[in-house]
Amino acid sequence: MNGEESKAPLLVDLFCGAGGLVTGFASVGFETVLASDIWVPAAETYQCNHLGHRFVQSDIRDLDLVDELKEFQGCRPLVIAGGPPCQGFSSAGARSANDERNTLVSVYAKRALSVDPDVIVFENVEGFLTAEGGKFVLDLLAPLVEAGYKVRLEKLNVANFGVPQLRKRVIAIAAKRKIPVPLQISTMAFGMPGADLLARDKPNVKGIIEYLQQFQIDSESDSLSEVRRLSGIEYERVSLIPQGGTMKDLPEELQHKSWGTRANRRVRDGIVTEKRGGAPVGIRRLKATDPSKAITSAATREFIHPEENRMLTLREAALLQTFPVNYEFVGNKSEIATLIGNAIPPVFAAVLGKAVKETLSADMVTDTNGGIVELSLTNSTGMSPALARTKKLITANIPDLSNPAVERLF
């Protein structure tokens, strides 16, 4: 390790999944000293791509960070990052308020605080903000503020940061005696509320076809590039859906029998319940010149290629998540689809990493109290009842929100 590398801030990635966050942070100069995940496909995928990294396959509740990091304590700036499994919060599929994974938010906060890091990073899905009326947001913020960290929490769209995909994520950066630096927006995107409001003076993010055409893929040697063959009614449906179209654009006799039921579900409060399922679109054809819709574990079953009568391949899904073209994924097709869909896009993670590095380099502030310096729950002009409940809960439980010096809350 040369002198320049030895000065790199240290990163610990909990719930590392396929390694999207580490890939992005490494590209902007972080040294990963520990990664951890409990799921076997995640563990094998991570270690396959990040040779030499220290990895612990463990439930976070059994992970003693103090012991694991004792040789690194105090030698360089330390950053703890993580995103507890999102399925308990996600609006993309079934949702359960009693999902055991939801409780991992408070566990994550406690484990991170146990080693007194310089910065704590949290990442999750949009549904995290409204689950249980905001309870899980409070589970994250309250211990961080009590421990003296100043926190910036925002809902962002990765399309505003160079990712060819409309994907909302919740990001929190917490720092001791420093004001967390915001992520730098670089691109604008149409197709989802809010994505075009924050970057009117920026160039458009690349569309799907322009982005994918950058890569040379050897489809014969890359199993993730295998195209699923369609036939019969399945092919007929796909061939008749136009760019930007969904199942509703098909003649009724070609619509899947489940679509009518899904289309009648209505989300009154901004939350998808365990009985409602996902958005009522069935399959959809993506637009060639637009960024992709959010890549989930179902992307290769639901997203039609913009210009060809087939579904996206796993490799295309990984590329739209901004993984390198040679990134390897270990597991069966279903597990790989989940690894790709659950990942934080590395290009977005790199922007996040830059903000964290700038935070580490920022001047210390004299105020040693914890607090919230930014809490942005929506980029739209209005606020849903669900978000309003979250705001009310946080305001009632974190007194710092009444501080008149904090001007840009919510």
Q: Which of 82, 46, 27 is nearest to 347 (CA)?
A: 27
pLDDT score, position 98: 58
Q: Is the predicted pLDDT of residue 269 greater than 50, yes or no? A: no
pLDDT score, position 3: 44
pLDDT score, position 277: 45
pLDDT level of residue 273 (50, 70, 90 thresholds): very low
pLDDT score, position 221: 87
Q: How large is the average pLDDT for residues 202-207?
A: 94
The DSSP string of 25-40 is: HHHTT-EEEEEEES-H
pLDDT top residue among 65 and 219: 65
pLDDT score, position 97: 52
Q: Which of 351, 306, 303 is nearest to 163 (CA)?
A: 351
pLDDT top residue among 248 and 330: 330
pLDDT tens string 334-365: 999 999 999 999 999 999 999 999 999 999 99
Mean pLDDT, the chain, as a whole number? 86
User: The dihedral of CA 362, 365, 370, 374: what is its sign?
Assistant: negative
pLDDT tens string 66-80: 999 999 877 889 999
pLDDT score, position 261: 57
pLDDT level of residue 130 (50, 70, 90 thresholds): very high
Q: Which of 83, 99, 138 is nearest to 273 (CA)?
A: 99
Catalytic residue among 16, 48, 75, 86: 86
pLDDT score, position 378: 83
Q: What residue ranges in 158-192 does DSSP mark as E strands?
A: 168-176
Q: Residue 17 — left, alpha, or beta (φ > 0 → left; ψ -120 to 50 → alpha)?
A: left
pLDDT score, position 219: 78
Q: Is the predicted pLDDT of residue 257 greater than 60, yes or no? A: yes
pLDDT score, position 13: 98
Domains by residue range for the chain, with CATH: 7-200+346-402 (3.40.50.150), 208-342 (no CATH)
User: The dihedral of CA 28, 356, 8, 52: what is its sign?
Assistant: negative
Distance CA 111, CA 144 (A): 11
pLDDT tens string 145-198: 999 999 999 999 999 999 999 999 999 999 999 999 999 999 998 776 666 666
Q: Is 75 a catalytic residue?
A: no
Q: How large is the average pLDDT for residues 247-264?
A: 73
